[in-house]
Amino acid sequence: MKFDTPAQQNPIDQLKVVGKPLDRIDGRFKTTGTASYAYERHDVAPNAAYGFVVGSAIAKGRVKTIDAAEARAAPGVLAVVTTLDMPRLPKGQMNVASLFGGPEIQHYHQAIAVVVADTFEQARDAAARLKVDYDREPGRFDLTAAAGAAPLVGGDSDEGSGAPPVDHVGDFDGAFAEAPVKLDETYTTPDESHAMMEPHTSTAAWEGDKLTVWTSSQMITWGKRDIAKTLGLKPENVRMDSPYIGGGFGGKLFLRADAVLAALAAKVADRPVKLALTRPLVANNTTHRPATIQRVRLGANHDGQITAIAHESISGNLKGGKPETAVSQTKLLYAGANRLTSMRLAELDLPEGNSMRAPGEAPGMMVLEIAMDEMAEKLGIDPVEFRILNDTQVDPEKPERPFSQRQLAQCLRQGAERFEWSRRNPTPGQRREGRWLIGHGMAAGFRNNLLVKSGARVRLDNQGVITVETDMTDIGTGSYTIIAQTAAEMMGVPIERVVVRLGDSDFPSSAGSGGQFGANNSTAGVYAACVQLRDAVAQKLGFNSSEAIFADGQVHSGHRSVPLAQAAGTDGLSAEDLIEYGDLAKKYQQSTFAGHFVEVHVDAYTGETRVRRMLAVCAAGRILNPKSARSQVIGAMTMGVGAALTEALEVDTRHGFFVNHDLASYEVPVHADIPYQEVIFLDEVDPISSPMKAKGVGELGLCGVGAAIANAVYNATGVRVRDYPLTLDKLIEHMPQPV
């Protein structure tokens, strides 16, 4: 199905099933321990051996020798495969660093061996017996030191965020020089880890020259393509399966060492092998969100109208890697005739920087929205009103291109009313309750809507059961449920009569899970397949498909009504299609918007910050399931608390690795850190987006939250911290004197 004209009235608009806050289909399997995660596939790969991955102890250089004799002789060991046993394997299309093979070391904890044994403990013990000799080379591990020589580099996150190396609109320099009110500040954000609950895990088995990998992957099509390329296999000889994934946040978007090494180990051991990357390898061997140094300059008239806006960012990555596209949202979010954005990329020898939830916008909004708060204070204008004053309904760089929907002002106004923003004291450091300083902060939220073709197969059996098959994944986001809701709505059956099968590369290729594009696109693909199935049913029953009504398990046309199951016959019916998009995304800017409001309490004696209240008001097209959508937003808001207050991968700039590479020292928020979180969705449909008239919402809940917290901390204390995270050591020396 080609979607190249705005959606009209269609069966989804009935909203009998779609749009309802239904419980997640997968919830009972996860809470009862019966969901099949990659490391637990005893059902399909019995008697699997255990693999243990060994990472490099240097960040740059070469492996001279690996003495594996003692490891091979250890109890229970079945095989040892080292990086010196083979030349460097070809990289997948999405990989920057090599995953295995050859002596060269590009980053710390790059995989250099995998040990296979009968038990995990035996594999781990044998791995410790490897004797490795290296030639260490000096590396570049400090972004601040490398920033001065970083060249201008453009980039695209492949998730809707991107910018050229430098972009000028109007005359920024002249407008900024003439502006009566100016802001010029520099901000930093740290390296961050995905820290998902389930680490990178895979179970691999061979049958002749055919490989099956049960793995934890967000994007099955990408994973199958790249493991075939890396191992030199025909794509038709590879099957990848990920029915359940315990979180990803972008860290599982593409092929990682766990899948490659499980496959290599299984081949050598002649037995299924399962392995999981240890937490240090999740941080150092896989990918992370790169640190940034960002400069924002704003110029405005005394009335608050922005006349000049510039956002410049520097990030670092391995050679061949991309920049963190932190300036992307600044190209679109606020009006202003004179504009400048630029990105620089320093070449570093740290582990690979790549997509992490809302790449680009997440760290970019953390900075831009502090700058907007600072500018509002300089102008003496309320921060909410300052943003509304500079709202725009068109792309500020391409005024001929309107937004398909843009309710940012409505999000901010409704949020301000709900949060009782008018009660906020605009003078910092004035509200106290005992030892606690109280502050309120807000920020806009912004995330682009990305359109990706997505396919599905839909079957109808003679019991009237609808089965949906697509390689779309569920990373804890509710994909099973919204896909079932879509099929139920289209085919006129209760959701209990729909079976959803996901994550298998033998199924039609989908959009996959990432960049908040999964829900809208995967359900649109199911919609397209259901349109085909409806036509097949109508034809089988002798109905005019344009007049047939599917409801309550029946197909109605005129005075006739026939059970849906009757159309299936003995063999059933099936249909397959995909959603493809025309040029509507070129004619209209498609984005999602939010207003984030936060209350914090800061201990006047210690600088300890506690978040006490959070509100997000979101405009993100049709909400397919308010319950699962709310879960996505509050999860993202929680991630924003971590980014603002605790999360930072600490770089050892002598040896080039992340020191706090486990969940004991990389501090993510826990239940005690998170207060009541309220989420409001504006009533919105976007017919420009897809037949579902939906958009994504998973990243939107993160974009802007960090800045809202930072702004609230400033309102509480009068201390402006521009270096994330806002740990108490950055506050305590500047705190107002306790009463």
What residues are annotated to the active site? Answer: 699
Could you tell me which residues come within 8 angstroms of residue 738 by beta carbon, excluding any fewer than 6 positions away? 435, 604, 605
For the record, the structure tokens of 648 come out as: 């930072």
For the record, the structure tokens of 507 come out as: 């199924």
Burial class of residue 432 (count of CB atoms within 10 Å of its CB; 0-12, 13-18, 19+): middle
- The vertex-252 CA angle with 249 and 255, nearest 5°, equals 160
Question: Rounded CA gap, 67 and 678, in Å?
Answer: 57
The angle, 0 to 180 degrees and rounded to 10, between the axes of the packed helices 479-491 and 518-541 is 30
H/E element, 480: helix 479-491
Residue carrying the six token digits 């790249």: 226
Per the CB < 8 A criterion, the answer to whether 78 and 116 are in contact is: yes
289: left (phi over 0), alpha (psi -120 to 50) or beta: beta
User: DSSP H helical segments within 247-360, as ranges?
Assistant: 257-269, 279-284
- Cα 435 to Cα 646, 709, 716, 718, 738: the distances in Å are 22, 19, 12, 16, 8
Identity of the amino acid at 116 = V
> DSSP code of 421?
G
Burial class of residue 102 (count of CB atoms within 10 Å of its CB; 0-12, 13-18, 19+): middle
CB atoms within 10 A of CB 655: 15
Question: Rounded CA gap, 220 and 215, in Å?
Answer: 9
The angle, 0 to 180 degrees and rounded to 10, between the axes of the packed helices 361-379 and 626-645 is 70
First to last CA, the chain: 67
Beta bridge partners of 311: 296, 341
Q: Show the 3-state SS of 579-624.
A: EEECCHHHHCECEEEEEEEEEEEEECCCCCEEEEEEEEEEECEECC
542-577 as b/e: b if 16+ CB within 10 A: ebeeeebebeeebbbbeeeebebbebbeeeebbbbb
Q: Where are the beta strands (DSSP E) in 302-397?
A: 306-317, 338-347, 394-395
Which among 362, 446, 439, 448 has a CA at the least distance from the CA of 412? 446
Question: Rounded CA gap, 6 and 2, in Å?
Answer: 11
Identity of the amino acid at 656 = G
Per the CB < 8 A criterion, the answer to whether 366 and 172 are in contact is: no
Beta bridge partners of 672: none
For the record, the structure tokens of 108 come out as: 């710390």
DSSP 200-250: SEEEEEEETTEEEEEE--S-HHHHHHHHHHHHT--GGGEEEE-S--S--TT
Beta bridge partners of 457: 469, 576
- Cα 681 to Cα 262, 392, 678, 708: the distances in Å are 43, 21, 10, 19
Which among 511, 228, 189 has a CA at the least distance from the CA of 353? 189
